[in-house]
Chains A and B, each alone.
Chain A
Amino acid sequence: MQKEESRTDLGTISIHKNVIASVASLAACEIDGVKRIGGDFKTGLLEFVGKKAYFAIKVQIDKNEEVNVDIPLVIKYGYNIPEVANKVQENVRRALEKMTDVLIKDINISVQGIEKA
């Protein structure tokens, strides 16, 4: 799996894509109006066998070391979707920049469903 890598005087620091996905997942769930991280059949199976929900988050690192994050979400009923999506994008960007220092290109949100709060 691809890793985000940075070099220091002492050696290299590499951040696994799962770490970025995990940070993004936690930051997304912090926002009021987010019910849970969505996913497809495959991630549903992984969750069933005990894997974490961040497996549904796709992290892509391009040649310019820029990171694209795709987050599937299920929103709580009664919330304004664009507003929640915007807040998630901002919070995820803030959290990733603070914790990993990676260059973030796009944070794409895909609202998969609405569930009762």
Chain B
Amino acid sequence: MRIFKILGILFYSGIIILVGLILIIIALNILQPQDINNLLVFMQDNPNSRIIMGLTGLLLTLISFSFAQLILGKFQREKTIAFTTASGEVTIALSAIEDLIKRLAVVVPEIKELRPDVIANKKGIIVDLRVVLKSEANIPELTARLQEITRMRIQEVLGLEEQIIIRIHVAKISASEEKDKRKKEPPEHPGIPFGGYGRI
């Protein structure tokens, strides 16, 4: 699969470089539009070249289609945590755990924004939290509390004994809402444009 991806990337890079070169050649006036026209007319007149052109077009379409499927298929395959029960398998999408963690922002009022990223590997479940805090927050205390709440919530909801590693990245400390409001409030008596214009 990897070799197909490399070939695909090389193929498309080649095509784009070729298109770029043609544009440069046309811009430098090395190739006249008339020459391109003559070439196209020649190819159109010859039945063999028309067949080759048609087949090339078909091949390019097929290659593009399968390459797109290969790339998109990779993105569509979602990562999950799985365990089996007596009746079958239960898989939990990591995005579902991310949804769960996002709801924690409501529980902790000092958090303005919370963006989780969950990875599951042999070590256990790794949760990367990117948070935006309000300015009054005590960061060490808050992050410790957030780690504990997140760990407890995941264990409680998933019921799994896996190791949970929670990494927090404080991305920004935003100004308190009151300051924001004060900034947004319009002046009490907004000036009328051209209010004094023309008066003596």
Contact = CB atoms under 8 A, between A and B. Distances in A.
Nearest to B97: A114
Contacts of A112: 93, 95-96
Q: Looking at A77, A79, A81, A108, which has the most chain B CB atoms within 10 Å of its CB?
A: A81
Contacts of B160: 82
A77 B26 CA distance: 61
A117 to B, nearest CB: 11
Interface residues of A, number: 27
Nearest to A78: B157
B100 interface: yes
Contacts, number: 75
Nearest to A109: B90
B159 interface: yes
B198 interface: no
A78 B126 CA distance: 21
Contacts of A105: 88
B144 interface: no
B100 to A, nearest CB: 5
B158 interface: yes
A80 B156 contact: yes
B88 A114 contact: no
A9 interface: no
A79 to B, nearest CB: 7
B87 A111 contact: no
A14 interface: no
A109 B84 CA distance: 10
A107 B89 CA distance: 7
B90 A85 contact: yes
Interface in B142-167: 156-160
Contacts of A79: 157
A34 interface: no
B91 A114 contact: no
Contacts of A85: 85, 90
A22 to B, nearest CB: 19
Interface in B46-65: none
Interface of B: 76, 80, 83, 85, 87-93, 95-97, 99-100, 103, 156-160
The list of the 9 closest CB pairs from A to B, nearest first, reads: A89-B87, A106-B88, A114-B99, A111-B92, A82-B159, A85-B90, A107-B88, A110-B91, A108-B89
Interface of A: 40, 68-69, 75, 77, 79-83, 85-86, 89-90, 93, 105-116
